[in-house]
Structure 1
Amino acid sequence: MEKDMLSPGAHDVVVDGLTQRYHVHGSGPVCVAMPGGPGVGWESLRMPATEELLTMVYVEPLGTGGSQRLPSHPDGYSRDRYTRSLIGLLDRLELPRVLLLGHSHGGFVAQRLALRHPDRLSALVLYESAPVTGPEHMAEAGARVEEFLRRNEGQPELPTVLAGLQATGTATDDEKITAGLRDMLPIFFADYWEREAEFRRLRETISCTYISSLDENLEPDVIDDRDALPSLTVPTLVVVGRHDVQCGPRWARELHALIPGSRLVVLENSAHLGHLEEPAAFADALRAFVRSVPA
């Protein structure tokens, strides 16, 4: 590996003929972080408190940000495709085994890699993830939206949030899905309006690339890992925010029950972005987990 490939800042490498961009911050053992969406900019996953104990390698997945788009864009971004790209990146970085953190949709990819290539991971963090997508997942998210509305009853901006939520489900271009994401962003937090001064800039700057849910055969990339996860051998930490709407505590409990020897941490005052809402608690959970994993 070239000496500067894990130096602070942005880097580009070519994997399978496509440019893959990643960003390095922090010091300590290496943790590769796969953001969610798919298509959400990596900046929303930045974890300054965690960077004090880990060298964070934030990936820009194919099709997102500075990474190259597939010829079939916006289709073809299946978990298998993202997994191949991640393995290629680990090879380029000459990291035989690594701590992998997957947030939200990135957790689906991390699960796939851990199940298919357990020898490449020293440990796994599934952060706001779930073992399944599809109708069951959507129904649970709908119930969590209702909880969010009850908790914030009377908040005048709720119609904007709901309009943004609907827009992200129907958008088919980058501009519209980014606008919808910014409108709905309060749903990602346990108490956005009480801490709006902290989170307003993220809402104004977060970006998203439109990526479809179809694989390279134009079939829905539906996920159900419940039968496979009991065979997972990688030490695993499951982290969830108590008020998360997208991948809430029900799914974290299922992951914890399915994965042998896993640990579960619930951030009581967070929703989907606990690393921003409770950064110290999030970093402490990772620190304790990393210390528990054999070198």
Structure 2
Amino acid sequence: MEPIVFIPGLLCTEILFAPQIVAFADRPLLVADHRQHDSIAAIAASILENAQERFALVGLSMGGYIAMEIMRVAPERVSRLALLDTNPRPDTPDQIKRREFLIKLTEKKGFTKIPHLLYPGFVHADLENDEAMKATVVEMANETGAEAFIRQMKAVIGRIDSRPGLPDITCPTLVLVGDGDTLTPPDLSREIHAGIPDSRLAIIEGCGHLATLEAPDAVTAELKRWIGSTSMHSPR
């Protein structure tokens, strides 16, 4: 069966994909480690070293940045692509300033408050006070830790503009986003969808940035459609 490589988002671990790991337990799975390097290119290279020769690729948020880098350097390795709640554009100057502030805050004051500061942006507004979801997000962040967080932030700051490479992606591609995602709003996924020929766009209702955890059934259903398809065309 076709292996699947999952790449989590910033401060996220395999827990991000827990519902999907269960759903696809009948096939070889790899949850990529994106915590050891401070550039998207180096993370992508490490994943390619550890992945099977050919695989389906799922990336959420920062995982999407890495997935788009893999498509640039080794498209022949990827049988199909799913880009979830992500952004094809580089950081804006304001986004870079905020990330640099969070890096300095972590270095000076420690990491303890960081997951709590970031949590509201990770989920739909309706989940802002959901203690169970918050506990999951904080657990993933604490498992990632301060040093890896700083490396991840530097990698995200340094990423390139992925938009020019989108038309070169020819494998079946799913582009998915929560309708309430404030970190990577739906218009960014529409832009990815418009750039990738014959891709499918899925917008999940009542869902924020961490779609795989917030709406696991809907996301898994889309991924099952994706894994079984030869084309992902949907109306533009």
Q: TM-score range with shorter-chain normalisation? A: 0.7 to 0.9
Question: Number of matched residues?
Answer: 220
Conserved in 2, the CA contact under 8 Å of 1:168 and 1:176? no
> SS of 1:269's equivalent?
coil
Question: Which structure 2 residues correspond to residues 195-214 of structure 1 after superposition, within 5 A?
Answer: 196-207=130-141, 208=144, 209-212=148-151, 213-214=153-154
- Equivalent residue number for residue 160 of structure 2: 223
CA distance, structure 2, for counterparts of residue 134 and residue 108 of structure 1: 11
CA distance, structure 2, for counterparts of residue 107 and residue 137 of structure 1: 21
Letter in 1 for 2:61: S
Shift of 1:178: 4.9
Task: Say which is worse superposed, 175-184 or 79-88, in terms of deviation.
Answer: 175-184
Q: Where is the helix percentage greater, Structure 1 or Structure 2?
A: 2
Question: Which structure 2 residues correspond to residues 71-86 of structure 1 after superposition, within 5 A?
Answer: 77-86=38-47
Q: Cα 1:178–1:112, aligned 2, differ >3 Å: closer, same or farther?
A: farther
> SS of 2:22's equivalent?
helix
- Compute the TM-score of the two structures, normalised by the length of structure 1: 0.66
Which residue of 205, 208, 221 corresponds with 1:271?
208
Shift of 1:60: 2.1
- Are residue 36 (structure 1) and residue 9 (structure 2) matched? yes
Shift of 1:79: 1.6
Letter in 2 for 1:114: M
- Are residue 292 (structure 1) and residue 229 (structure 2) matched? yes
Which residue of 73, 79, 83 corresponds with 1:122?
79
Gaps of 5+ in 1: 1-27, 64-69, 71-76, 143-164
Per-residue CA deviation, residues 201-233 of structure 1 (Å, 9 max, x unaligned), is 214423243324557xxxx61421212211112
- Equivalent residue number for residue 88 of structure 1: 49
Gaps of 5+ in 2: 232-236
Conserved in 2, the CA contact under 8 Å of 1:236 and 1:262? yes
- Equivalent residue number for residue 88 of structure 2: 131
Shift of 1:137: 8.5
Question: Which structure 2 residues correspond to residues 56-205 of structure 1 after superposition, within 5 A?
Answer: 56-63=29-36, 77-90=38-51, 95-135=52-92, 138=95, 168=102, 170-173=104-107, 176-190=110-124, 191-193=126-128, 196-205=130-139
Relative contact order (C-alpha < 8 Å, sep 6+): which is higher? 2
Conserved in 1, the CA contact under 8 Å of 2:204 and 2:218? yes
CA distance, structure 2, for counterparts of residue 230 and residue 285 of structure 1: 22
Shift of 1:80: 1.2
Shift of 1:284: 0.3
Conserved in 1, the CA contact under 8 Å of 2:85 and 2:177? yes
CA distance, structure 2, for counterparts of residue 270 and residue 193 of structure 1: 12
Shift of 1:183: 3.3
- Equivalent residue number for residue 46 of structure 1: 17
Letter in 2 for 1:103: L
Which of the pair has more CA radius of gyration? 1
Shift of 1:274: 1.2
RMSD of aligned residue pairs (Cα, Å): 2.8
Q: Cα 1:117–1:281, aligned 2, differ >3 Å: closer, same or farther?
A: same
- Compute the TM-score of the two structures, normalised by the length of structure 2: 0.81
CA distance, structure 2, for counterparts of residue 264 and residue 130 of structure 1: 14
Q: Where is the strand percentage greater, Structure 1 or Structure 2?
A: 1
Letter in 1 for 2:47: L
